[in-house]
Amino acid sequence: MQYYMTQWYIFHDLTDQEVLDIKKDLLAIGEKFSMNGLILLAQEGCNGTVAGSDEAMIAIETYLTEKFGDIFFQHWTSHIKPFKRFKVSVRAEIVALKKLAKLPLLTKEGLGEVSRSATHLSPSEFHAMLAQEDVTVLDTRNWYETNIGTFKNAVIPSIKKFQQFPKFVQESNIPKDKPVAMFCTSGIRCEKAAEEMRSQGYKHVYQLDGGITNYLREYPDGAWQGECFVFDHRSAINSRLEPSKRYSLCASCGNPGDVTSACTQCSTPCVLCELCLQKLPATCSKACKRVVESLA
């Protein structure tokens, strides 16, 4: 079966009641069209990736456009069911930096248009900036994401979670008077990362509009090296936005893994990441992991 997928994020001021009303509407759409996916809602906006039929994608995009305006949606297809279920979750933030800030709505017209914000670079502008010697190329993602792919010569923060990014910036030796070109998976993390760097005195902060996935649509054979982690059951995608043939979700921690093993409890084949394989006996599920740990 082929699943159609759509991903988006929007920063928009919402009241508590508006968040609850939108959640109710989205749950109804998801149930009606038998969708799967995850949507995050907060007073600062909405962030989601959903999958289902082509009709389902049209329905949810129509609703969101009517609610928020002309939004930029990114599209994929997958033969792997991306999510087990459909969930709409209310959070304090739609991307957790533990710092609330008002950010602009990213519209379809705005994507790649310098007129919306001089800090947002289209894939072609970002590609050109990669060749400049005085530019710091900064990956804002977590270590398990950067571990399987990144841009050549990118600075890697090696952080476990995004909340650690401000401290990394404080302790880094990145020049404040020279250009910084940052990137993340789909663009949302860079919206807050850019504001954080500006607050710490960085003068020339740029971000890849639409993130790595948007870059790969235009430059599948460009400067990207490796694969790109995604937050669903595809685990990762290659440079042509196809589900990874190398990585699966690690049975122990859920990060990308590519080491095939057998469960020490039930002998079921499973995939683990190298880190978990070094630390733990191989198990195919949390249930088997608990059994093995109880016998240790």
* Shared-domain flag, residues 217 and 286: no
The pLDDT tens digits of the residues spanning 269-288 come to 989 888 888 877 888 888 88
Distance CA 274, CA 184 (A): 24
Tell me the C-alpha distance between 134 and 20, whole Å.
47
Q: For residue 30, give the CATH number of its domain.
A: 3.30.70.100
Q: Is residue 96 part of a domain?
A: no
288 given a catalytic annotation: no
H and E: helices and strands count for the chain: 9, 17
- The domain total for the chain is 3
Going by their DSSP bridges, the two strands 3-11 and 45-52 should be labelled as antiparallel
In angstroms, rounded to a whole number, what is the distance separating the alpha carbons of residues 167 and 16?
31
Closest by alpha carbon to 10, among 66, 58, 54, 56? 66
CB proximity list for 101: less than 8 A, separation 6 or greater = 44, 192, 195
Which of 68, 90, 112 is the C-terminal boundary of a domain? Answer: 90
Distance (Å, rounded) from C-alpha 192 to C-alpha 261? 39
Separation of alpha carbons 242 and 268, rounded Å: 27
The mean pLDDT value of the chain amounts to: 90
Q: What is the pLDDT of residues 191-226, one digit of tens each?
A: 999 999 999 999 999 999 999 999 999 999 999 999
| Same domain as 153, residue 57 | no
Which pLDDT band, with edges at 50, 70 and 90, does 112 fall under?
A: very low
User: Looking at the domain assignment, is residue 261 inside a domain?
Assistant: yes
Question: H-helix or E-strand containing 6?
Answer: strand 3-11
Average pLDDT over residues 232-251: 93
Which residue in 184, 190, 250, 273 is the catalytic one?
184
Instruction: Kindly tell me if the per-residue pLDDT of 117 is higher than 70.
Output: no
pLDDT tens, residue by residue, 125-135: 999 999 999 99
CA 23 to mean position of chain CA atoms: 21
pLDDT of 89 over the 80 cut? yes
Q: Which tops the pLDDT comparison, 259 or 99?
A: 259
Please give the pLDDT value at position 94: 94
Answer yes or no: is 243 within a domain.
Answer: no
Q: What is the 3-state secondary structure (H, E, C) of 207-244?
A: EECCHHHHHHHHCCCCCEEECEECCCCCCEECCCCCEC
User: What was the pLDDT predicted at 113?
Assistant: 36
Domain boundary among 36, 68, 90: 90
- 141, 216: one domain: yes
Q: CB under 8 Å to 269, separation ≥6 — which residues? A: 260, 261, 262, 263, 284
Domain boundary among 174, 197, 229: 229
Q: Are residues 195 and 280 in the same domain?
A: no
pLDDT attached to residue 285: 82
Distance between CA 117 and CA 104 in Å, rounded? 10
Q: Which pLDDT value is given to residue 116?
A: 41
**Residue 183 domain boundaries:** 120-229
Q: With contact defined as beta carbons under 8 Å apart, do 46 and 12 qualify?
A: yes
**For residues 73-89, average pLDDT:** 95
Nearest Cα to Cα of residue 189 among 171, 216, 164: 164
Sign of CA dihedral 88, 227, 216, 239: negative
Residue 102 counted as domain residue: no
